[in-house]
Structure 1
Amino acid sequence: MTHLATGTDYQKLANHFRPVFHRIAAGTVERERTRTLPVEQIQWLKEATFGAVRIPVEKGGWGASLPQLFQLLTELAEADSNIPQALRAHFAFVEDRLNQPDSPAQDRWFRRFLDGEIVGSGWTEIGNVKLGDVITQVTAKGEGWELNGEKFYSTGTLFADWIDVFARRADNQRDVIAIVNTHQSGVSREDDWDGFGQRLTGSGTTRFVAADVEQDHVYDFSERFRYQTAFYQHVLLATLAGIARAVVRDAAAGVKARQRIYSHSNGNASRDDVQVLQVIGEISSLAFAVEASVQRATHSLQSAYEAHILSDESVIRDYNTVAEAEAGQAQVIASDLVPRAATLLFNALGASDTRLSKALDRHWRNARTIASHNPVIYKARDIGNWLVNDVVPTSIWAIGRGEG
């Protein structure tokens, strides 16, 4: 019997986690200023079973739908935008398990997630790697596998118990997923991510030197869930929506508290200045448009998830195509509007609000960093090509050194 996660009481779900989100938000600026990784904060989420939000109720989880998951991630991103991105690989791996038939192996993974274990990412290789090539390899060893290689952009891995690694089998050269336990000497993780935004996502280098992998923890990449690219994008979209919420929050709070005014302003206080209030209204409207776009797109993703149990391949393909296209459309909106809102923030405030102690610049830096993932120019092109020429949007792609 297949158990689907189709939704729960959102207010009950959110109310369980909001106290944790509030605790996380209380230290966000200080962590940003001191570049302190949110290790303790992610532990709070583990203890609250946040990683089990999507697990069906029948299996002990919350049974949240995808729209509910991403709404929850938006709330978390408002508190600290680093953390949803750090959990991106975890929720993607959970989603992959949800798309597999019921089995004892699936139940073992669900139990791990219910116990608070989380998964990090090990997919991208940088440097002189040819497009389409994979240097990280798994080799048969005894009753299991041995993993050797190096990954960068290992988002969330510093906090993880397992790593979802994209690798190549040494024997037949097939691309595979290898799930590696981090609690072994063959796995080393570095906090060397030096981006100007999303600094605390644990997105540095991970090395595997004769790392042990269990026999049933290696499977063909072709078996991965169909809407994975759209899913990964949705985590970033929810994070952008959360940043937009935080911009509105901080802009409004800053105007309320501001005592100094200019001699040529429109009132005796910033809170009474009609031009300043217009800026707040514009920022709020941009955030509203982003969150509405993101939430709308999550429903086609839920349809793609529910379609995986169907037998009609053409129907499954159509649902996945729409999910990919709508994720791209929401990305075009969010990549433009959220950095714009983070810039307009300073039109409502003053020069004193550019001080490092307030860390308000983090909103633009974080939004621009997230918007640089999965180039939006190609998403817009894909949408146009789909609408005009019926060409299905790109769902699987790679990055590496081009020829010539």
Structure 2
Amino acid sequence: MTNDTAQLDDAAVHSAVDELSTGTDYEALAARFRPLFETIRATALDREKQRALPYGEIRALKEAGFGAVRVPKKYGGAGASLPQLIELLIELAEADSNIPQSLRGHFAFVEDRLNAHATSDQSGWFARFVSGDLVGNAWTEVGAVEVGTVDTKVTPGPDGWVVNGEKYYSTGSIFADWIDVFSQRSDTDELVIAAVSTHQDAVAQQDDWDGFGQRTTGSGTSTFRDALVLPENVFPFESRFRYQTAFYQLVLLAVLAGSTRAAAREVAAQAKGRTRVYSNGAAPVWSDDPQIQQVVGEATAQGFAATAIAVRSAEASQASYLARYEFDEAKELQANIRAELDSAQGQVVLVKLALEATSTVLNALGASGVSESKRLDRYWRNARTASSHNPVVFKARIVGDWAINGTPPPYVWWIGASKSSAASEKAGQ
């Protein structure tokens, strides 16, 4: 038992099984949401064409309790394990891959509160999640902000604390009741997370994400101008759950797996209904052509493999969550290393698999398959866009360094202007 555990009141240490989210009957859980997923799928193409944000769809998910599936059953949630959450997000991503990415910040904040519950009562936040509150995220600053620097500030004051700053890539925040804001205290320079309510005029959000894929994730700029935040909703960043970067990647793996499955499913449907054939094909009916069947079969198998990789990758993060409640620092450290490595290994393989599948599956159709009205390219565009986060180009090296030299992976990394470019840009202003 560590020193900090010894200092805790017995009442504050929640280690009973009913306090944890260890898993539930997956089929029963998924059955609750599949009719809603089907409704979302049926309207996804129209949203893509119109670039219409899924306000109604996300509201329906809130009302159905989707945001609380990881909350322990004792507090009104479903008690799902992390692998079960990822599998559920894959099913949702198969319907519309934008929506699980929109909820990425929410489930990360839920995960953080699940870990915090090991040492302090988080039942208040659990109740918010169960009632339908969603949390967005606002972490990234752009422009001349030097890497490792945080310009967004939290300022304590006698009349309340306020947040000031601007963030980009604030995915899902436009749908949220709260925003998880990475910031710095102006008085102590401590890095913190501020949970800021969006129900105030001091918070402004723009849907100005201009990527060619994942267009309806509600990503863009969040601006805070003296936005109020309660002191109890400001958390030291050093207390953030340790497998957070692995977790964020797991949600992207779910997005990739769902995109792969969706592409295979839709092309299969298009191939089945196709009446035109080529004279140099292998069958008089398109759907009976063994080469067309092979193309669709390979993409379908790739969707199966993508699901297996994503769900398997989540098992280590679930182990990290459970290790948090054992108060064994060495065991928790090893669990966190494994969580990061497993998500990285899953990313290295799944990115290639998803990009290949969402492109080559179109070989099962003729030129009509690239019709703008069908937008079958969206599966590749969405997979390509999701693959651009947490750049995979660095992950194989990190995994290789661990395999060869036993070097632990980084848990947190920064993005920003290099020191030289930041200085040059500021000098030119």
TM-score range (shorter-chain normalised) is: over 0.9
- Report the identity percentage: 52
Q: 2:249 touches 2:343 (CA, 8 Å); kept in 1?
A: yes
The 2-side partners of 1:208 and 1:252 are apart by 47
Q: 1:120 touches 1:154 (CA, 8 Å); kept in 2?
A: yes
Other-structure match for 1:80: 96
Other-structure match for 1:267: 283
Secondary structure of the residue that 1:400 maps to in structure 2? coil
Secondary structure of the residue that 1:165 maps to in structure 2? strand
Aligned 1:66-145 pairs, distance under 5 A: 66-101=82-117, 106-145=122-161
Residue 105 of structure 1, CA deviation:
5.7
Which runs of 5 or more residues in structure 2 are unaligned?
1-13, 421-429
Aligned 1:2-401 pairs, distance under 5 A: 2=15, 3-101=19-117, 106-401=122-417
The 2-side partners of 1:101 and 1:81 are apart by 30
The 2-side partners of 1:207 and 1:105 are apart by 31
The 2-side partners of 1:143 and 1:313 are apart by 39
Other-structure match for 2:419: 403
The 2-side partners of 1:7 and 1:312 are apart by 22
Moved over 6 A (4+): none
Other-structure match for 2:424: none
Q: 1:179 touches 1:217 (CA, 8 Å); kept in 2?
A: yes
Residue 103 of structure 1, CA deviation:
8.1
What does the per-residue CA deviation read over 1:262-282, in whole Å, with 9 as the maximum and x for residues that have no partner? 111111121111111111111
Residue 101 of structure 1, CA deviation:
2.8
One-letter code aligned to 1:292: A
Other-structure match for 2:423: none
Q: 2:118 touches 2:325 (CA, 8 Å); kept in 1?
A: no
Task: Tell which deviates more after alignment, 75-84 or 140-149.
Answer: 140-149
Which runs of 5 or more residues in structure 1 are unaligned?
none
What does the per-residue CA deviation read over 1:327-350, in whole Å, with 9 as the maximum and x for residues that have no partner? 001001111010111111210011
One-letter code aligned to 1:237: L
Residue 403 of structure 1, CA deviation:
2.6
The 1-side partners of 2:232 and 2:375 are apart by 45
Task: Tell which deviates more after alignment, 209-218 or 306-315.
Answer: 306-315
Q: 1:143 touches 1:215 (CA, 8 Å); kept in 2?
A: no
Q: 1:119 touches 1:164 (CA, 8 Å); kept in 2?
A: yes
> TM (normalized to structure 1)?
0.98
Residue 143 of structure 1, CA deviation:
5.0
Residue 390 of structure 1, CA deviation:
0.5
> TM (normalized to structure 2)?
0.93
Q: How many residues align?
A: 404
